Chain A
Amino acid sequence: MNGKIMYTLLKKDIKSCLANKNILVSVLIPIFFCALYRYLFSGIGEGMQGFVLNISAIFAISIIPTSILPIMIAEEKEKYTLRSLMLAHVRGHEFLTSKILVCLGMTAVVSTAVFFIAGGDGQDYFAYLAAAMVSAAGLCFLGAMAGLLSKDQASAGTISAPLTLLTMLPPLFSGFNDVFERISAVVPTTSFQTIYTAVQSGQNILSGNSLTAIIVCAVWIAGGAVLFDVFYRRKGIDC
């Protein structure tokens, strides 16, 4: 990986994100909902603060990798700028790494905003952020594949909507029954919830359910990278 090319791509991607209204709106949605829920549930009880933080963080971790990342990739395909980059000597993994890093950066910013709006405990912030990043990283390859499959931003939106729901809903409904709980255990957003809950209650995150949650995220990251590589070799990034 060429460091100078990566730096150039990162600068370009950050500029493009800031100029894309679709992306800016999508990024603000979790922050808006966090503020709204905080206002709606204020005065109901202390437990609601944790609920607001939990739901808003899960929203942020879901929406950015599965919705914004596909849009970022699809935009470049739609406008043929991806082809221009490939015809220069930008490699597929360089292009994607830059997009994923920007995505994770946005996740960090939004998750931080959500944490403080929801009134999270400052002592837990770094553990919260680490759990959010690990969880989001696992979902980035899913979003990257959705971006590869999309011809344009409109189809990226169509493909990513069910993906966002599939990653967002399991942790919210995992307590409803055993089957749902088992299914949701393999989703990275549930892993975030498990790890953060362990941190809040002072448990060792490297044991029990939270260790399983960390392993789930690691499997998603490794498996996603391998699958993506296979998919890219077959279809090519500019398909």
Chain B
Amino acid sequence: MTNILKANQLTKTFGNVKALDHCDLEIRKGEIFGYLGPSGAGKTTTIKLLTGQLHSDAGEVTVLGKNPFSPEIRQQIGIMSDMSGLYEKMTVYENLDIFADIYGVKNKKKKIKETLEAVDLYDNRKKKVEKLSRGMKQRLVFARTILHNPRLLFLDEPTANLDPATADEIRELITKLNRNGTTVFLTTHNMEEADELCHRIALLNKGHIVECGSPEELKLKYSKKKVLITTGKGKKEISLDKNELIDELEKTEDLLMIHSEEPSLRDVFLSLTKEENA
């Protein structure tokens, strides 16, 4: 599979703090790549380095085969962060109109209409942004990010501080875009969201990537390989060894439930960071 983004030994220091320490990243074309970590881990710094907002102290980045600072890149990527401002005194339509002109979007009116319909804001197109709810503003920012059909999207915590319904809507939009071929680089500290959306994830802690792989791979890798059986007498953990499991099940008379004991991504992350910090 082609790599759409590659970063080698990316390093960034702010004063005495190493925000990113020799990180390697590869994003494949057509995937949703999750970049997870707690607040202060270095997620936003990484996005800034990958999108030409910051210069790294060491390491190389290529985005779509080019330097992230090259002007040609801007037309092909979309960036959404919590600091993506809107013109509050202008209408929904006017906000998109400005950026449609800046990006040189062809068939501007049709494209704006389609984009607003995709984020369910078309009926509110004449409303001033200051009158919109928080969720609607976030959808408008998302609309602006995808207006010019970018090949690669950088989404920095796109569902942070949103109510569950709006967060679900944004996730659905991300999935739909990805199905249409857009590659997505997504940062989040919401492990469940990453598990639901991402083809592959990287776990970041204190500027290091501690693990990388698909959610399923990581859960299997860090699984305790045990099964929890519930009987009338209570619960018991049994090893996933086939013979042991069969023996135990044969002995059990009043079996009520069997649960696999695979860890969540949160469990994986916590155990990895505990090891690192120890």
A residues bordering B, Cβ < 8 Å? 4-5, 7-8, 12, 15-16, 19-20, 76, 79-90
Contacts and interface: CB of A to CB of B under 8 A. Distances in A.
Contact of A15 (B71, B90, B103): B90
Nearest to A86: B53
Contacts of A86: 53
B107 to A, nearest CB: 15
Contact of B87 (A4, A81, A83): A81
Interface in B73-119: 74-75, 79, 81, 83-90, 94, 98-99, 101-104
Contacts of A79: 85-88
Contact of B102 (A16, A76, A89): A89
Contacts of A12: 87, 90, 98
Nearest to B86: A81
Interface string B62-77: 0000000001001100
Contacts of B144: 84
B75 A89 contact: yes
Contacts of B99: 84, 88
A80 B83 contact: yes
Interface size class of B (residues with CB under 8 A): 20 to 34
Interface of B: 51, 53, 71, 74-75, 79, 81, 83-90, 94, 98-99, 101-104, 144
Contacts of A90: 102
Contact of A8 (B84, B87, B101): B101
A211 B4 CA distance: 59
A81 to B, nearest CB: 4
Q: Among B53, B87, B94, which residue has the most Cβ atoms of chain A within 10 A?
A: B87
Nearest to A8: B101
A81 B89 CA distance: 12
B114 to A, nearest CB: 19
A140 B120 CA distance: 42
Nearest to B52: A87
Given A79-B85, A80-B83, A80-B85, A85 B102 contact: yes
Nearest to A12: B98
Given A4-B101, A5-B102, A88 B74 contact: yes
A15 B89 CA distance: 9
A96 to B, nearest CB: 16
Contact of A80 (B71, B75, B84, B104): B84
A5 B101 contact: yes
B96 to A, nearest CB: 12
A7 B104 CA distance: 12
5 nearest A-B pairs in the assembled complex, by CB-CB distance: A80-B85, A89-B74, A81-B85, A8-B101, A19-B89
B76 to A, nearest CB: 11
A16 B101 contact: no
6 contacts: A4-B101, A19-B89, A81-B85, A83-B81, A84-B99, A88-B99
A83 B81 CA distance: 10
Nearest to B141: A84
A79 B144 CA distance: 16
A5 B89 CA distance: 20
B71 A89 contact: yes
A128 B146 CA distance: 49
B85 A4 contact: no
Nearest to B148: A88
Contacts of A85: 102
Contacts of B79: 87
A228 B83 CA distance: 25
B214 to A, nearest CB: 30
